[in-house]
Structure 1
Amino acid sequence: MKKAFFCTLVGLASLLGPAIDVFASPPSPEATKILFVGNSLTLGNDLPGLVKSIAASKGVSIVTRTAAKGSARLAHHAENPQLRALLDETAWDFVVLQEHSQLPALRDEDVAKKTLPYASWLAERARLMSPATQVVFYMAMAHRDGDQFNKTSFSEVGTYEGMQQRSNVTYNRMARENEASVVPVGVVWSHMRTSHPDVELYVDERHPTVAGSYLAACVFFTTLFSQGCEGAFQPVTLADGTGLKIQNLSDDVLLRNAGIQ
């Protein structure tokens, strides 16, 4: 068992996304088994596959499965019998939970109604098969220009900085209340925007480019396995030097400068 470094309605029947690794035979006992539960921020650019490639390049064997669909919420996943079956498929080392991008940044009363109960139910359900399963919350990036849909009723989320801060608070709360951990992609993403504005992280107002997903994958690897990403696998589609900038920035924030906030 590996130790973590840090402590629009969708049809429910179709929430289970494509399996990144299908267990045709039982995975090696040495392999770390990770289940990703989320939406397009997990599916885009095959985030689980990027994490797996980084791990392999560092000598770490992992197998992954993914339950995700665009716009899915934790509430949808909690009601999905296919996800429950997937949770029972094996003794997962890590179960990653990612909420819809807008919900964690809403007002406290909305978060308490729309997110927290489902985060708790999923965390408890994830440990039913194996109490040793580590639940981790994917603290995602805020929208490039903030939440323009909800800003009229909640001005705080109308900027990137305001939305990210609200989201960070909620993800940290979910982790604290469920004895879980946080993969602080949103924190490292903020540092990247400030330090390397030349690196395009967004393909539109909310979804990541390959560079953005690679940054998230680096944060995942370092958070889950306590190793830096310098010298790790890089997607061939990244512009020259971009992968190294991402690796160095992620390692600086997570390891060398301990800049988690």
Structure 2
Amino acid sequence: MFTLKNLLCFLVSTCILYQLQSQSKNSEINILFVGNSLTYTNNLPLLVKKQAKKHGVNINTKMVVKPNYALPDHWDEGKVQKLITTKAYKFVIVQQGPSSSVEGKKMLIEYGQKYDAICKENGVKLVYFMVWPSLNYYHTFEGVIKNHLTAAEINKAILCPVGEIWKKHFDTTNTYDYYGSDGFHPSKKGSEIAAKVIVESLFCK
């Protein structure tokens, strides 16, 4: 029998749950993006912020990005490490070029380990942003996907499988509209899909 006492307990529990959810949604989450032009084209962090808002998640973003940079380049400069040690960020999303080669895989794994060690010391979660090859090197796509999957698994990091989602779209539709005019950098639509995958990977699992 559903008594008045049961009803009161239910209402109190519901109110507490709603309060906790509201606090989570209203609190801001800081995300650091580390990468190159594949991240700053179309201002991907801003698109991620807008996409997260649709899910009731408020985020702030910061970019440390330079053209043609890979993870070792950022490591050598040291700026990223200093930002991580401020303990201001919940996630650090790292990105470099397609990384289908043996050398690219090595950088993803070894420098991922370096960043992950600092992240763990400062309560931050490492995230890989899986990208894509240029249209001219489309045949390397499986290597891009495999190497990112391997690096994320080895370093126990979150993986945002953007490249994998792109490839499924291309293979299904035979339409390459996620690429921009140069056949490598993302179109606005491609960046919007990337933002959607990133937000779902971080907040919707």
TM-score, normalised via structure 2 length: 0.80
2:59 to 58, 62, 86: 62
Which protein has the bigger helix share? 2
In structure 2, distance between residues paired with 1:52 and 1:115: 25
Secondary structure, aligned partner of 2:144: helix
In structure 2, distance between residues paired with 1:122 and 1:31: 23
Closer, same or farther: CA 78–210 of 1 in aligned 2, 3 Å: same
Closer, same or farther: CA 217–112 of 1 in aligned 2, 3 Å: closer
1:96 and 2:73 are equivalent in the alignment: no
1:40 and 2:37 are equivalent in the alignment: yes
1:61 deviation in Å? 0.6
Closer, same or farther: CA 116–44 of 1 in aligned 2, 3 Å: same
1:53 is matched with: 50
In structure 2, distance between residues paired with 1:210 and 1:112: 28
Secondary structure, aligned partner of 2:27: coil
In structure 2, distance between residues paired with 1:57 and 1:186: 23
1:35 deviation in Å? 0.9
Number of aligned positions between the proteins: 180
Conserved? CA contact 1:35–1:94, under 8 Å: yes
Where in structure 2 are there 5+ consecutive unaligned residues?
1-24
2:100 is matched with: 105
Secondary structure, aligned partner of 1:79: helix
Percent identity over the alignment is 28
TM-score, normalised via structure 1 length: 0.64
Q: Deviations over 1:191-240 (max 9, x none)?
A: 1213344462111121001011011011111111117xxxxxxxxxxxxx
Closer, same or farther: CA 32–173 of 1 in aligned 2, 3 Å: same
Matches within 5 A, 1:141-160: 141-146=132-137, 160=138
In structure 1, distance between residues paired with 2:56 and 2:26: 15
1:167 to 139, 144, 168: 144
1:222 to 176, 200, 204: 200
